[in-house]
Amino acid sequence: MDVCKRIVVPVSFNKASVHAIGEALFLAQKNGAEVVLVHVNTDSSKTERYFDEEIRNIINTHGELAHNIDVSWRIIPGKKNNIVSQFAKTVDQLEPLFMVVGYDVKSKYALGPNIKDIVYKTNYPVIALKSGETVRELNTILYPLTLEPNSRQKTNISIKMAKDLDLKIALFPMRLDNTKRDDKEENIIVNQLTTKFTENKVEHSVEWADGKDAIDLILDRTNYNKTELIGIVFESSPDFLDNFRTTREEKVLQRNTNPLLIVKSHHSPYMY
């Protein structure tokens, strides 16, 4: 099946989403995709014409990045309590290759609104990045690998992006208190993945790491290195208690200093 080369960006007109538009335009220049901006209008006093002008002004601020790119936008009605649900329905209609989502960390313990919901409630991969993070210096997709069942669900999208954006893949298998049997199983998986990368003509390397916590190892490996996109799989159905505690997903969203390529653990169109 041919994969649709379309990038979707949710737009709230805050600093993070304006930054995300520029990053999406850069990626579209690299892989020949079209860009669709989606805004959920919760203010009935503002017309579609108003938002048309606002969006055109934002696109113009990005100058040459917008040249020769097919950029369009959707303004859809909604309410403050269903912004992400309305956005998700539109995304399903657009069937993008991935989304680019800008977000903020409001404090040490709080993410900006909607980023968790967008990650959990949409069916497509997300490139998530804060205002200080950029995809413009990327040369590598970091591919963390554990023995968790969902760890390899980012394989096809990682290969697709590596080929589209001329990136290499750094396979990062982690031994997390492995037994000898675990080591044997992980070596088999590493060999399978490197064979697949080779068959797809993707430049790759392998770097083993030992530790107890996967997120700590990933962040230690990547923090302050602005050239890597971190591929990571998020659980699609967080536990009820996750509403009251910091999950591993929130931890990586808060602490990373690199853009994330987030794939959900449920089946997503095109990717697996």
37 φ, ψ to 5°? -95, 135
With contact defined as beta carbons under 8 Å apart, do 261 and 154 qualify? yes
Q: Which of 80, 97, 130 is the last residue of a domain?
A: 130
Shared-domain flag, residues 198 and 119: no
**Do 84 and 149 share a domain, yes or no?**
no
113 and 224 co-located in one domain:
no
Q: Which among 74, 95, 130 is the end of a domain?
A: 130
Among the three residues 130, 162, 177, which one is the final residue of a domain in this structure? 130
pLDDT at 112: 65
- Whether residue 99 sits in one domain with residue 44: yes
Mark whether 118 and 190 lie in a shared domain: no
The reply to whether 271 falls in a domain is no
* Domain co-membership, 176 together with 111: no
Residue 195 has what pLDDT?
98
Q: Let me know whether 194 and 248 are in one domain.
A: yes
**pLDDT at position 241:** 39
pLDDT for 239 equals 52
Asked if the structure places residue 269 within a domain, the reply is no
**pTM beyond 0.85:** yes
Q: State residue 236's pLDDT score.
A: 60
- 270 assigned to some structural domain: no
Instruction: Specify if 11 maps to a domain.
Output: yes
Together in a domain, 123 and 151: no
CATH of the domain at 30: 3.40.50.620
Range(s) of the domain holding residue 26 = 6-130
What integer pLDDT is reported at residue 271 of this predicted model? 45
- Predicted confidence at residue 18, as pLDDT, reads 94
pLDDT digits 0-9 by tens, 8-61:
999 999 999 999 999 999 999 999 999 999 999 998 888 888 999 999 999 999
- Whether 166 maps to a domain, the answer reads yes
Regarding whether 168 and 100 lie in a shared domain, the answer is: no
pLDDT of 3: 55
Pick out the chain residues at pLDDT < 70. 1-4, 107-113, 236-246, 266-272
* Rounded Cα–Cα distance for residues 40 and 209 (Å): 43
Please tell me the total count of domains within the chain.
2
Q: Smallest Cα–Cα separation from 97: which of 233, 263, 260?
A: 263
Question: Which helix (H) or strand (E) segment is 155 a member of?
Answer: helix 155-165
Say how far apart CA 51 and CA 244 lie, in whole Å: 36
Residues in the chain, overall count: 272
